[in-house]
Amino acid sequence: MAEILVLVDHADGAVRKTTTELLTIARRLGEPSAVFIGSGYDAARDTLAQFGAAKVYVAENPELVDHLVAPQAEVLAQVAATAQPAAILLASNPDGKEIAARLAIKLESGLITDAVDVVAADAGITTTQSVFAGGYTVTARVTHGTPIVTVKPNAATPEPAQSTPVEEKVAVSISDTAKRARIVERAARGESGRPELTEAAIVVSGGRGTGGDFGPVEALADALGAAVGASRAAVDSGWYPHAHQVGQTGKTVSPQLYVAAGISGAIQHRAGMQTSKTVVVVNKDAEAPIFSMADFGVVGDLHTVLPQATEEITKRKA
């Protein structure tokens, strides 16, 4: 069976959930091989085995960590040249997309970004994308070279399948060209104690309607075990960090449940949450466009509706 390369998305060996989703998808397409680039492989080993990697290519080198994505693209191209995979899967985030872009040129291969599903069809590996702010569903195929696909979070439910991967160390040699952008500082990932926004099964977001008080939004999020999101209006007002912005120029989320509180539903916001399974809206304006996509909505003031919902949920859970 042909190998399917999965680039491991991790921070110092802490494997992100998207990678377990990619490994699950890769098992449907062929034999999954994880490619680990960076440092901290020891911390990643168990997770990769748990989600069925048949092989792991390990490239550990400090220079891979100190530079922006170009060296990673070089290593991945090197692995692909020997593995001759049937496809290469990466996470659809800034790093993943830039690595994929460079890889497509190096391998002279077609590239599809932001897939929400990848399947093996008769005609070959076929992707599904949601485009124009979710207005259209597009299926596509790569017709030249090795299909390179970046896959959005929550495209698959991670399914464990224990394996004992063969480990193969990759000798790393990085060109000078690839070292042109140097990382001089890296902020630690924000520790809110809440799930990661893009990975969360439930997201509760607040907008301008919060008036700057995200307390009720955070309290509901905590009652539901959810991540907290924000509209750009809320972020621009300085009420919540940009890392939590949902939308075209923020994060794309695709949770089971999205709660929009005090958000009007501009197209740029919808672009980031349109593929949510269930949408719940709280807004005091019955005419707010976001209601048109609500599975359930409350016309009311979020400052009273959210706390009451939170209290009720806490009661029900007790």
Partner 1 sequence: MKIVVLVKHVPDAAADRKFDEADYTTDRVSVDSILSELDEYAVEEALKISDAGDAEVIAVTMGPEQAQDAIKRALQMGADSGVHVLDEALHGSDALATSQVLAAAIEKVGEVDLVFTGMASTDGGMSVVPAMLAERLQLAHVGFVGELTLDGGTVRARRDADVTETVEAALPAIVSVTDQINEPRYPSFKGIMAAKKKPVQTWSLADLGIDAGSVGLSAAWSVVASVTARPPRTQGEVVTDEGDGGAKLAAYLADQKFI
Ligand X SMILES: Cc1cc2nc3c(=O)[nH]c(=O)nc-3n(C[C@H](O)[C@H](O)[C@H](O)COP(=O)(O)OP(=O)(O)OC[C@H]3O[C@@H](n4cnc5c(N)ncnc54)[C@H](O)[C@@H]3O)c2cc1C
CA gap 30, 267 in Å, rounded: 38
264 binds ligand X (CB under 6 A): yes
Question: Does residue 303 bind ligand X (CB under 6 A)?
Answer: yes
Q: E strands within 207-247?
A: 227-230
Q: Which stretch binds partner 1 (CB under 8 A): 29-37, 44-52, 131-139, 163-171?
A: 131-139
Does residue 249 belong to the site contacting partner 1 (CB under 8 A)?
A: yes
Shortest distance in whole angstroms from residue 216 CB to ligand X: 9
According to the binding rule CB under 8 A, does residue 169 interact with partner 1?
no
Angle, alpha carbons 10-12-18 (nearest 5°): 10
For ligand X, how many residues bind (rule: CB under 6 A)? 28
Residue 206 in marked binding region: no
The site partner of 237 among ligand X, partner 1, none (C-beta below 5 to 8 Å per kind) is none
Cα-Cα-Cα-Cα torsion 116, 117, 118, 123, nearest 10 degrees, comes to -110
Say which entry of ligand X, partner 1, none residue 173 contacts (CB below 5 to 8 A, set by partner kind). Answer: none
SS3 270: helix
State how far the Cα of 87 lies from the Cα of 104, in Å rounded to an integer: 12
Burial class (CB within 10 angstroms; exposed 0-12, middle 13-18, buried 19+) of 110: middle
Q: Which residues 209-248 are close enough to bind ligand X by CB under 6 A? A: 209, 231-234, 245-248
Among 29, 79, 83, 111, binds partner 1 (CB under 8 A): 111
Please tell me the count of residues contacting partner 1 according to CB under 8 A.
Answer: 93
Angle between helices 94-106 and 70-83 (to 10 degrees): 50
Q: Point out the annotated binding site for FAD.
A: 208, 231-232, 245-249, 262-269, 283
